[in-house]
Amino acid sequence: MQDQTNAADSSEPLRLVLYVAGQTPKSMAAIANLERICAENMPGKYVVEVIDLKKTPQLAREHNILAIPTLVRQLPTPMRKIIGDLSDLEKVLVHLKVGE
């Protein structure tokens, strides 16, 4: 088992969860932007899960999601959240702590 204190320096992939609500333009933009950002800036170093809150609305309350789309970086810790369509590349990279 790997020591989690050095998760940011290790080869552990970034674990990201994107919460959306159906096929809305903002949700679709967030998915496309996230795919592009990850492919260009973290190739092979991420795992993305997309959760549609229209299909599983109880997860919004369980995971404390107040707005959508919301991107959650689960690993490495600490957990971080970014709200919006992820169109601001610099903001996303800063929040994900990519390149540090």
Name the band, by pLDDT with cuts 50, 70 and 90, for residue 10: low
At 56, list the tokens. Answer: 């599983």
Rg (CA), the chain: 13
Domains (range + CATH), the chain? 12-96 (3.40.30.10)
Backbone dihedral angles phi then psi of residue 88, each to the nearest 5 degrees: -90, 95
pTM of this structure: 0.83
Section 39-45 average pLDDT: 91
Question: What is the tens place of the pLDDT at every residue in 73-83?
Answer: 998 888 999 99
Section 63-75 average pLDDT: 94
Backbone dihedral angles phi then psi of residue 71, each to the nearest 5 degrees: -100, 130
